[in-house]
A and B are shown apart, each in its own frame.
Chain A
Amino acid sequence: MNRRGFLQLIGATGAAALTSSCNRINSGVGTPSSPTHLIRFPEKTEMILLTDRPPQLETPLHYFRQDLTPNEAFFVRWHLEGIPASVDLRTFRLNVSGQVRNPLQLSVDDLRSQFEPVSIIAVNQCSGNSRSFFEPRIPGGQWKNGAVGNAKWTGVPVKSILDRAQVSSGAVDVSFAGLDAPPLPSVAAFAKALSIDHARDGEVMIAYAMNDRPLPMVNGFPLRLVVPGWYGTYWVKALSNITVLPQVFSNFWTDKAYRIPNAPNGTESPKHLATDTIPINRFNVRSIIVRPEPNETWHPGRPNEIQGVAFDSGHGITRVEVSTDGGATWKDARLDAEIGKYSWRRWRANWTPERRGEYRLMARAANAIGETQSTEQWNRSGFMWNVIERVDVKVE
């Protein structure tokens, strides 16, 4: 027997997700829809339950038929069990310290009233979104395509905060840590860092509002870091500490976790693991088919709209092509108007299937600097999935 995983969900006889030839690293076929377990967390709507403690909640695909992902449906992912469940805004402070001449302790009210607010519409995607599609299978959050969302983030650029704190010369990195606490002293507290130039590029920001409302607690209330165009691991939730450092930041979550092969699209093979790795960083190009959903049934002779989203790290999606015949022929989809450089771009393609049968729909996107999607992909952590998507639809 070769290395194939069987997806088995709670309380169900699992729907086996068998892919094609065992010689190929993966086929990119979405797993057939299996019974999902939905759960409603506080301030959230019903979401797909991956784990409850610490929570990993996936967004049902139909929410991506909107420009902005509602707060109550936005995906949730924490690493450490001690997630904040109560915040007192009277005593909460964002601490800014380290290589600064003017250390700060700012309340949320200070941030709202003392700094010029900015808003940015930006996609947040988990590094491991779509991990369940990799073959051979990889341990970790077994997401389908729902660990992603597009929201309007409002708050203060980190640059403004650092300017007020007066960064000393010799600053190299800026680390960001939140209120969440590890379950054991041996588990590293979650913190990530950006280079000083990246942190103060004017786009990296601290959000106190999401889609014009306070963040849900499980999405990082009262503040989270927003790093447009970079994977979600950097978007530290319940942000409470900013530290300017005179050297490159070092911790478990940077040195051991969240690393990718230093190779095109972070790719390696299971038998030849890369020895040179770097921290995960900016998004690759992706498109996700939102409609039809896996195993949906459509009717012959009726016009339908294939729908989806596409995004990259901020250069701009320029093209999405759709196939309804398993990749034999391709047609350009219509792109919605651009909302912003870090927002996703919705796309649509009309299709009237003539005959009954099973059809394999595919979608592939390209961006302004010529980046496209992969046909084959693997890395040991299950990160950065961007294989050309396939969804099978029955027409009857």
Chain B
Amino acid sequence: MGLAAFIGGCGQRSRTSGEATHDIALVDSAPIRSPEPRIPVHTIALPHDEPLLPPGPGREEFVAACVVCHSPRYITMQPRFTRSAWLGEVNKMKDVYGAHISDQQVPQIVDYLMSIHGMPDPAGTSTAASYGE
């Protein structure tokens, strides 16, 4: 089940590599120098690299409620979680961070998260929602 394709937006500057490298040449490569700011205004352009999300029920609600604040990678970098764990996370977003999610939309968004990144609930378990980041 392919999860996502990368958006080839302007200035895509990312790639997928194989195994973690231990190439000594990287250690010795010349460091990238950022010059002392000679002009007083220091500006960067932040790159975009948000995964394209597959279609599915609840996708619209997810995009409307979640992507306004953070990239979908916040979901896709997690391990697959159970329905109860995802419900805990969505409720945290709604109740603690004030995400614009109606009560009706909560299960729709959880359905979508389960479809792209869920795993079955083991019987009789739940994961406590945490605020840790």
Task: For A7, list chain B residues within 8 Å (CB).
Answer: 79
A49 & B133 in contact (Cβ 8 Å cutoff): no
Task: For B42, list chain A residues within 8 Å (CB).
Answer: 86-87, 89, 214, 217, 221-222
Of residues 1 through 60 on chain B, the ones whose CB sits less than 8 Å from some CB of chain A are: 2-6, 13-23, 26-27, 31-34, 36-37, 40-51
Per-position binary interface string of chain B over residues 101-127, scored 1 when its CB falls under 8 Å from any chain A CB and 0 otherwise: 000000000000000010110100101
Of residues 28 through 56 on chain A, the ones whose CB sits less than 8 Å from some CB of chain B are: 33, 35-45, 49-55
A241 to B31, CA, bound (A): 32
Q: With A53-B50, A70-B31, A81-B69 known to touch, is A86 a contact of B41 (CB < 8 Å)?
A: yes
Q: Helix, strand, loop or mixed for chain A's interface?
A: loop
A213 & B16 in contact (Cβ 8 Å cutoff): no
B7 CB → nearest A CB, Å: 10
Task: For B3, list chain A residues within 8 Å (CB).
Answer: 8, 10-11
Q: Report the nearest A residue to B24, measured CB to CB.
A: A62
Q: Interface residue tally of chain A, by bracket?
A: 35 or more
A353 CB → nearest B CB, Å: 17
B13 & A40 in contact (Cβ 8 Å cutoff): yes
Q: Report the nearest A residue to B48, measured CB to CB.
A: A52
A43 to B44, CA, bound (A): 8
Q: With A33-B19, A257-B133 known to touch, is A3 a contact of B98 (CB < 8 Å)?
A: no
Per-position binary interface string of chain A over residues 261-300, scored 1 when its CB falls under 8 Å from any chain B CB and 0 otherwise: 0000000001001000000000000000001111110000
Quick check: is A124 within 8 A (CB to CB) of the other chain?
Answer: no
A142 to B40, CA, bound (A): 36
B21 & A41 in contact (Cβ 8 Å cutoff): no
Quick check: is A308 within 8 A (CB to CB) of the other chain?
Answer: no
Contact with B20, one of A33, A72, A214 (Cβ below 8 angstroms): A33
Contact with B127, one of A3, A8, A45, A257 (Cβ below 8 angstroms): A3
Task: For A40, list chain B residues within 8 Å (CB).
Answer: 13-14, 47
A65 & B27 in contact (Cβ 8 Å cutoff): yes
Quick check: is A370 within 8 A (CB to CB) of the other chain?
Answer: no
Quick check: is A235 within 8 A (CB to CB) of the other chain?
Answer: no
Q: With A9-B77, A88-B41 known to touch, is A293 a contact of B130 (CB < 8 Å)?
A: no
A304 to B61, CA, bound (A): 54
Q: Helix, strand, loop or mixed for chain B's interface?
A: loop
Task: For B15, list chain A residues within 8 Å (CB).
Answer: 37-38
A327 CB → nearest B CB, Å: 23
A90 & B73 in contact (Cβ 8 Å cutoff): no
A294 to B131, CA, bound (A): 30
Task: For A257, list chain B residues within 8 Å (CB).
Answer: 131-133
Task: For A79, list chain B residues within 8 Å (CB).
Answer: 133
Quick check: is A71 within 8 A (CB to CB) of the other chain?
Answer: yes
B120 CB → nearest A CB, Å: 6
A40 to B78, CA, bound (A): 21
Q: With A66-B27, A184-B99 known to touch, is A8 a contact of B117 (CB < 8 Å)?
A: yes
Quick check: is A331 within 8 A (CB to CB) of the other chain?
Answer: no
A35 to B33, CA, bound (A): 28
A293 & B22 in contact (Cβ 8 Å cutoff): yes
Q: Report the nearest B residue to A256, measured CB to CB.
A: B131
Quick check: is B64 within 8 A (CB to CB) of the other chain?
Answer: no
A42 & B73 in contact (Cβ 8 Å cutoff): no
Q: With A53-B70, A81-B70, A86-B44 known to touch, is A139 a contact of B89 (CB < 8 Å)?
A: yes
A390 CB → nearest B CB, Å: 16
Contact with A39, one of B33, B45, B47, B78 (Cβ below 8 angstroms): B47
Quick check: is A186 within 8 A (CB to CB) of the other chain?
Answer: yes
A positions within 8 Å CB-CB of B: 1-3, 5-12, 17, 33, 35-45, 49-55, 60-63, 65-66, 70-72, 79, 81, 83, 85-90, 127-128, 132, 136-142, 183-187, 213-214, 216-218, 221-222, 252, 256-259, 270, 273, 291-296, 380-383
Q: A43-B44, A52-B47 are in contact. List 7 more A-B contacts (CB 8 A).
A: A40-B14, A41-B46, A61-B20, A89-B41, A132-B79, A137-B79, A140-B132
Offer 15 A-B interface pairs, CB within 8 angstroms, sorted by A: A2-B122, A8-B117, A10-B73, A11-B16, A60-B26, A62-B23, A62-B26, A83-B46, A89-B41, A128-B133, A141-B77, A217-B42, A252-B131, A291-B22, A380-B132
- A-B CB proximity, top 10 nearest: A186-B98, A381-B132, A5-B79, A42-B44, A39-B14, A53-B71, A86-B43, A183-B69, A257-B131, A89-B40
B positions within 8 Å CB-CB of A: 2-6, 13-23, 26-27, 31-34, 36-37, 40-51, 68-71, 73-74, 76-82, 85, 89, 96-100, 117, 119-120, 122, 125, 127-128, 130-133
